[in-house]
A and B are shown apart, each in its own frame.
Chain A
Amino acid sequence: MADSIYSICNLGILDTLSENSIHEIVESYEGFCAANETLLNGAGDLSVGPQLVSNAHSLCKHGLESLLRDHFLGALEKTFEKNGALKFWRHFEDVSIGEEVFYNALEEISLEKQYQEKCLLMLVHALQTYNQRGSHDSDAISVELFAKYQLSVSSVLMATLPRKFPEILNWYFKGRLEELSTIMAGDRPPRDDEDEDDDRDDMELDEKWKVSYRSGQMEIDECYPQGRFFDNSKLVNNIGRVVHDLRSLGFTSMTEDAYASAIFLFLKAKVHDLAGDDYRISVLESIKGWIQAVPLQFLHALLAYLGDSISYESASSGLKSPLAKCPASFYPGIDTPSEGLVRWQLRLEYFAYETLQDLRIAKLFEIIVDYPDSSPAIEDLKQCLEYTGQHSKLVESFISALQYRLLTAGASTNDILHQYVSTIKALRTIDPAGVFLEAVGEPIRDYLRGRKDTIKCIVTMLTDGTGANPNVSGNTGDSLLEELNRDEESQENIAPEDDFHTDDKQAWINASRWEPDPVEADPLKGSRNRRKVDILGMIVGIIGSQDQLVNEYRVMLAEKLLNKSDYDIDSEIRTLELLKIHFGENSMQKCEIMLNDLIGSKRTNTNIKATIAQPSHTDAGSELGDNRVSMDIIDATIISSNFWPPIQEESLIVPGPIDQLLSDYAKRFNEIKTPRKLLWKKNLGTVKLELQFEDREMQFMVAPVHAAIIMQFQDQKSWTSKDLAAAIGVPIDILNRRINFWISKGILSESLGEDTDNHMFTLMEGMIDTGKNTANDGNCEDLIVGDEEGESSVASVEDQLRKEMTVYEKFILGMLTNFGSMALDRIHNTLKMFCIADPTYDKTLQQLQSFLSGLVSEEKLELRDGMYFLKK
């Protein structure tokens, strides 16, 4: 403590001073102060320089160097505050200031500061010349004094800083960037008056800073060979000067913040502007181009102007940006970017990528709806995500969009499926390993599993070319399977059954209430890493088992084949070939036999009709009056029923002549194919018939039962439902349902007889209401196809399942009686455990669920919070 006081106030010196010395000191000090005063306020009068120097030397001699230094710096600071800072801030007092005001203010304060620096240089010179006699390091004095001066300038400015100054800086840089952007867009030549300003400024500039700057660094104009760059370099020169001035005033970080935030805000606006709502074009390239053209040019010029040293090594080695694929051509006119510029570039790119990514993720649902038209947007998003690595953002955002927009009662199963497929197709571009896809697909799969028509829709989507994907224009008529196959042919083939244990996996997932980890880390999914996304696998994954899908397909195929009026099965054969590729030949064996039956039927049919002995007209044709009926009108599809799904057989008495023809046909078959024989399923098939009225004819394609009904009216124009039902051999309720077809077509009318159970049907006479049928009026040529109204020839998979599951019903009811309530997976596991024989429980969880929901709708069970109860 005492030491320090001693060292600061070396009072001992005072004792040694002589009168003379004191006088000299006082004189020198006064002289120094006067010279100082004149110098600082003398408006550029440097003539007092020698006086200042000699007085300074004299004071130094007396060891008062620090005194004069402090005095000089103090004076500088006071003067700067008065002539510099306060004047400077006065320029910004107006609410709105122009660019000119800003430049003038900066120029003024910079000139002031520059002048003061000259003054300071004089003092430095004085001290240096004095110290050359001593041993002081003269450079150190200069550095120290200029540092102190710089500090005082900064602190004066900071102490008096108006609060809105950062805003003004921001405003300034924003305005310049916009100007630069407009110039780069090339649609506006630079203003003439600006050119004049620039010329003037350039001249002044050279003069102004000749002292402190090496001239070479300012020649950035040379960097821009093109006219446009020359224009904008003038603009950038202005900005550079501003930044330089601001830096020298100590606003380094404030300035950097201001232009950085201006650049980022501008970049953000530009990305929003370029991105828009059009997903059919890639915008990344234009964003990249813009970054190069505007902010990077701006920054390059700025950094070059400010003397940011060009580091040749670091730019070419370490920092590699994905944007800078070919750095040479990347910066127009710039040979090697400086390290600072590369760093800026990386920051800007990251920001642009992240901004675009966020925009696209927010609209991902719409983008996927538009897929594949929107694939440019997907490609952009992919690149963004590769750079930012923020895939989890996508997953979270997209799942919530799905839940809100798609997985609602209002969306049709078809729509959901198509969106699911589009999602897979779109996301596998972004995520070839399918890791994120797994997480995104899970909610859709879960939701679809709860819908009854899911399997049917999936099979239709896979196999039916008509409108399989409404979003694909130009590709209509291709089933999804066809499309997948095309995709696959262009890539390398993978084994279709490659570790494909969806069933087991599904059971396990449900049993352990497994929830997918939202991101990367799941080991189960890690195994897929090296495989490409298997779209079909992900679709089958919804159902849980391939067998179920194949089974459903078989039922739909049977329905289609049994309703054919010809033997044209080209598209079915193609579909089967594709299914065989994906599911294996063995799975498709039964379907193959079904198609083979059609091929065989065609051959046999021709053979029988060619070789049958035509019955005489009097035998077969008599019952249809004058109309001759020959074997020509009969065709048959002969099926190997063991390989077809269960067929719905209903009794039907077909018109006599037809029946006769069918027996003849069967007889001939038996002759040709002994010892095989035919068993007719008379309710199945299709009948094309033409109704002839006096002035018109109408053609229909109907089920045999419809034909049998209407043909009864040929001889008798009115029938009671009882009589008619007896005549065609169907139960009365079925008749009442089926006859609606003819009533709806306006061919028959229904009236209530005396007996309410016994309706009267009459062939329509006279005019018909111009109601619902007007559309068909007079269209004699058109074939009116009988709508099946849900009547099907084949038992649905659901019906089959119910039949097979009924044996377990007692068991399930018993379990629930004992346990009170059980969850689906527990019932499933218990059945698996106990029903190991006679019959073995071999159903999937989905099948069980479907059966249980049947029991719920029959009000045998209740489902609350995922638990099944006995209905009390």
Chain B
Amino acid sequence: MAPNRAYCPIFVHCSELQGFGLGFAVAREEDESQDLAWHSVASWTWDAQDETCGICRMAFDGCCPDCKLPGDDCPLIWGSCNHAFHLHCILKWVNSQTSQAHCPMCRREWQFKG
């Protein structure tokens, strides 16, 4: 029926809408569909001081050389010295040390931040 109304006024005077030319109604009772849906975009980043891992030199927001997917699958870990590394990188590092491991950045004794 709608296309037949070619000669009907499309817009009414704004004043007749009591000052509102537009409305963005949300979730009207008879209709579940939303009248405003805002799909936005964000990027995630590790909240770290450095940009790259001191061990593998890859970006924190990327992943360690052993991983394919960044983020949850290749997390960062902080030491008590506040240096951050890819978890996989520092684990490898720690495991490769014969005695007590030290932070590769500051040489302080490595302790996972509690």
Q: Spell out A's residues near B (CB within 8 Å).
A: 562, 564-566, 589, 592-593, 596, 600, 624-625, 627-630, 632-644, 647, 654, 658, 661-662, 666, 669-670, 673-682, 684-697, 699, 704, 707, 710-711, 713-714, 717, 746, 763-768, 770, 774, 777-781, 793
Contacts and interface: CB of A to CB of B under 8 A. Distances in A.
Contacts of A589: 68
Interface in B1-60: 2-14, 16-17, 20-27, 34-48, 59
Given A693-B11, A770-B7, A774-B6, A685 B38 contact: yes
Given A627-B26, A669-B44, A778-B5, A687 B39 contact: yes
B24 A687 contact: no
A642 B59 contact: yes
Nearest to A658: B38
B34 A639 contact: no
Contact of A680 (B3, B16, B40): B40
A793 B41 CA distance: 10
A673 B76 CA distance: 11
A642 B70 contact: yes
B106 interface: no
Contacts of A710: 22
B26 A681 contact: no
Nearest to A780: B2
A680 B61 CA distance: 16
Given A634-B39, A687-B39, A710-B22, 9 more contacts: A630-B26, A633-B36, A634-B38, A675-B47, A679-B42, A691-B22, A765-B12, A774-B6, A778-B4
Given A767-B9, A770-B7, A777-B5, A687 B45 contact: no
B58 to A, nearest CB: 9
Contacts of A564: 39
Given A596-B69, A681-B41, A688-B34, A781 B46 contact: no
Contacts of B65: none
Contacts of A643: 62, 70
B43 A717 contact: no
B43 A639 contact: yes
A565 B44 contact: no
Contacts of A777: 2-3, 5-6, 8, 10
A634 B16 contact: no
A655 to B, nearest CB: 9
B71 A640 contact: yes
A684 B41 CA distance: 6
Contact of B61 (A642, A690, A770): A642
Say what secondary structure dominates the interface of chain A.
Answer: mixed
Contacts of B26: 627-630, 632-633
A692 B23 contact: yes
A560 B10 CA distance: 33
A13 to B, nearest CB: 121
A489 B10 CA distance: 56
A425 to B, nearest CB: 36
Q: Which 5 A-B pairs have the closest CB atoms?
A: A778-B2, A684-B41, A641-B43, A690-B35, A692-B23
A93 B105 CA distance: 118
A834 B20 CA distance: 67
Contacts of A681: 40-43
B40 A639 contact: no
A562 B41 CA distance: 7
A633 B43 contact: no
B26 to A, nearest CB: 6
Contacts of A767: 9-11
A686 B39 contact: yes
B24 A677 contact: no
Nearest to B11: A764
Nearest to A714: B22
A690 B43 contact: no
Interface residues of B, number: 48
Contacts of B44: 638-640, 669, 673, 676-679
B20 A714 contact: yes
Given A633-B26, A640-B44, A778-B5, A593 B69 contact: yes
A658 B64 CA distance: 36
Nearest to A596: B69
Given A627-B24, A691-B22, A710-B22, A781 B41 contact: no
Contact of A696 (B10, B36, B48, B76): B10
Contacts of A695: 8-9, 12
Contacts of A635: 37-40
A763 B40 contact: no
Nearest to A677: B47
Contacts of B9: 695, 766-767
A693 B17 contact: yes
Interface string B62-81: 10000011111000101000
A690 B25 contact: yes
Contacts of A793: 41
Contacts of A639: 41-44
Contacts of A625: 20
A704 B25 contact: no
A676 B45 contact: yes
Nearest to A597: B71
Nearest to A692: B23
Given A688-B37, A778-B3, A642 B62 contact: yes
Contact of B27 (A632, A647, A666, A678): A632
B12 A676 contact: no
A855 B3 CA distance: 51
Given A636-B40, A638-B44, A642-B70, A768 B13 contact: no
A546 B11 CA distance: 53
B42 A687 contact: no
A633 B26 CA distance: 8
Contacts of B61: 640-642
Nearest to B60: A642
Contact of B42 (A637, A642, A714, A765): A637
16 contacts: A562-B41, A633-B34, A654-B38, A669-B42, A676-B44, A677-B47, A678-B44, A681-B41, A681-B43, A682-B40, A687-B39, A693-B17, A696-B10, A707-B38, A717-B14, A767-B9
A694 B19 CA distance: 12
B82 to A, nearest CB: 12
A717 to B, nearest CB: 5
Given A676-B46, A676-B47, A624 B24 contact: yes
Given A593-B70, A596-B69, A770 B6 contact: yes
Nearest to B76: A675
A673 B46 CA distance: 10
B13 A689 contact: no
Contacts of A765: 11-14, 21
A777 B9 CA distance: 10
A763 B25 contact: no
A633 B37 contact: yes
A714 B3 contact: no
Contact of B36 (A662, A670, A682, A689): A689
Contacts of B5: 777-778
B70 A565 contact: no
Contact of B71 (A592, A676, A699, A713): A676
Counting chain A CB atoms within 10 Å of each CB, the highest count among B40, B46, B48 belongs to: B40
